[in-house]
Amino acid sequence: MRALLVVTALLEGVTGLMLVALPSQLATLLLGSSLDSPAPLTIARVAGVALFALAVTCWLARHDGQSPAARGLVAAMALYHTGVAIVLAYASIGLALSGLGLWPTVLFHTAMTAWCLKTRR
């Protein structure tokens, strides 16, 4: 479980900071479309802060092993990764958005879902 928590802390932490600092550039990489007005930029930055908070939580829990809290955190991460994979796949299939990083990100979140589910057992 430690490796899962560390990987999540590092990758989601960087993604969160990128969303706070460069939300439009990340949106362009993922979706092929920039964020051009204050409202979507603000929502992206709020999401970035949430991702960074998830990263900090994972980092702080990395030594907790099989505690009930750590297992709950991994269950929540499985839900998060599943939701992100579905939302981004829909963005491509249903909304015809496309960016260089879109499908690699869908595959990454799908793999992370599987890792979370395997670790949670």
| Nearest to 51, CA basis, from 81, 71, 93 | 81
Q: How far is CA 118 from CA 82, 99, 112, in A?
A: 14, 30, 10
Residue written as tokens 């796949």?
A: 89
Domain that holds residue 34: 2-120
> How do the pLDDT tens digits run along the chain, 121 residues long?
999 999 999 999 999 999 999 999 999 999 999 998 999 999 999 999 999 999 999 999 999 888 899 999 999 999 999 999 999 999 999 999 999 999 999 999 999 999 999 997 6
Cα 21 from chain centroid (whole Å) = 16
Number of domains in the chain: 1
Rounded CA separation 29/33 (Å): 8
